[in-house]
A = this chain, B = another copy of it.
Amino acid sequence: MKAYEILMDMAVIMVCAKFMGLLARKLKAPMVVGEIIAGVLIGPCLLNFVQPSEYLNMFAEIGVILIMFSAGLETNLTELKKSGLIALVIACVGVFVPLGCGTLLYIGFNGFDGIGSESFFKALMIGCIMTATSVGITVEALKEMGYLKGRVGQTILSAAIIDDIIGIVVLTFVLSMKDPSSKIGVVCLKVFGFLAASFILGFLIYKIFKVVDDKYPHTRRIPIIAVSLCFVLAYVAEEYFGIADITGAYIAGIILCNVRDAEYIDRKVSVNGYMFFAPLFFVGIGLKTSFSGIGAETILFSLAFVAVAMLSKLIGCGLASKCFKFKNIDCVKIGAGMMTRGEVALIITNKGLSLGVIDPSVSTAVILLIIVSSVVTPVFLKYLYSKSPDPVEESE
């Protein structure tokens, strides 16, 4: 492939992704759904304008790394410290209940071959996909109604942040077990070794970066060094610890999230993201989608997958909040707010696909989950708040 030949593909992808993304937003669906559909439209499945290629894959991978870095950067550690036990418990339950339910769902469809078997690993991956909350849609809905600053809203927000961190730790564990010969002890050692090393080194890096940042605020070198750090951590995670590169990128984001220029870095990373890399990832998912293998069982699995993913969050987080003396309806609000899924679920799916431990048909189920949860959640929340407005917000 000559270098210039990729230009046409990129142009088509960028324009279609933007157009379909805007269309999706108009229809109150998440923009990523529009971008995926753009990929299906222009891909081999339908119009065949663009074929998946190694180069597009490379761009998409960098897109994923940048998205995870950005997610880490946007973590509000100060907020997190304040949120305390309630959010922590809700987040834990919100990770482990869907993880368990997702695993059981896969076993229900495909049978159980014992812990440590390949099919058990596949089942765990399905569970992992279900763990990642994406509160973007919820936040928007709460903001619109003016309830974001209420107790329920703040609890959802804090729980979602912790949920992300726990989710990534769980994913890291599961992915480290991909090699069937790996012993659980070695896996634990690797994961804890990496986490410990990155938190100790991370603190050092944070201190050094802070000095550089304070000396040269808002200069180009700041985001360049930051992104390089993200790339290095992603590489080191994969190469030396056998841990997912996305974990490394996310941790790089957390290390730098308290730096004064964190928002500035995030903005620069986002420009690269939204123009080239991120659309190539989401469109790429669409490009690789194939309708050929879809039969009755796939449809049944997809529907069950969506139902289990949403109910496990709703019931898990709802019951967890009940322990902290929330009113019944407020427990439902918290559970409902945690139901939405987004980019991270797709990224985990993609990771599983590239490792060959997830069937291509799961993509369809995940896309369906994103669409359904993002449409249902805001409607459901509006209904709940109309029945019982948040008292904290009313007194303001």
Contacts and interface: CB of A to CB of B under 8 A. Distances in A.
B18 A224 contact: yes
| Copies of this chain assembled into the complex | 2
Contact of A238 (B4, B55, B238): B4
B235 A7 contact: yes
Contacts of A235: 4-5, 7-8, 11
A61 interface: yes
A305 interface: no
Contacts of A57: 3
Nearest to A220: B274
A7 B220 contact: no
A89 interface: no
A228 B14 contact: yes
Nearest to A269: B275
B4 A234 contact: yes
- Of A4, A15, A276, most B-chain CB atoms within 10 Å: A4
A218 interface: no
A232 B3 contact: no
A201 interface: no
Contacts of A10: 62, 228, 231
Contacts of A224: 14-15, 18, 274-275
B220 A18 contact: yes
Interface string A219-233: 011011101110110
B7 A232 contact: yes
Contacts of A65: 7
A275 B231 CA distance: 13
B268 A271 contact: yes
A107 interface: no
Contacts of A7: 62, 65, 231-232, 234-235, 245
A145 interface: no
A58 interface: yes
A169 to B, nearest CB: 20
A76 interface: no
Contacts of A384: none
A58 B4 CA distance: 9
A6 interface: yes
Nearest to A216: B22
Contacts of A2: 238
Nearest to A2: B238
Nearest to A22: B221
A298 interface: no
Interface string A257-275: 0000000000010011011
A268 B272 CA distance: 9
Interface string A1-28: 0111111101110110010001000000
Contact of A245 (B4, B12, B232, B275): B4
Given A271-B271, A272-B275, 6 more contacts: A10-B228, A11-B227, A14-B224, A15-B224, A22-B221, A272-B276
- Which 10 A-B pairs have CB atoms at the shortest separation, nearest pair first? A3-B61, A11-B231, A11-B228, A7-B231, A8-B235, A4-B245, A7-B235, A271-B271, A4-B238, A15-B228
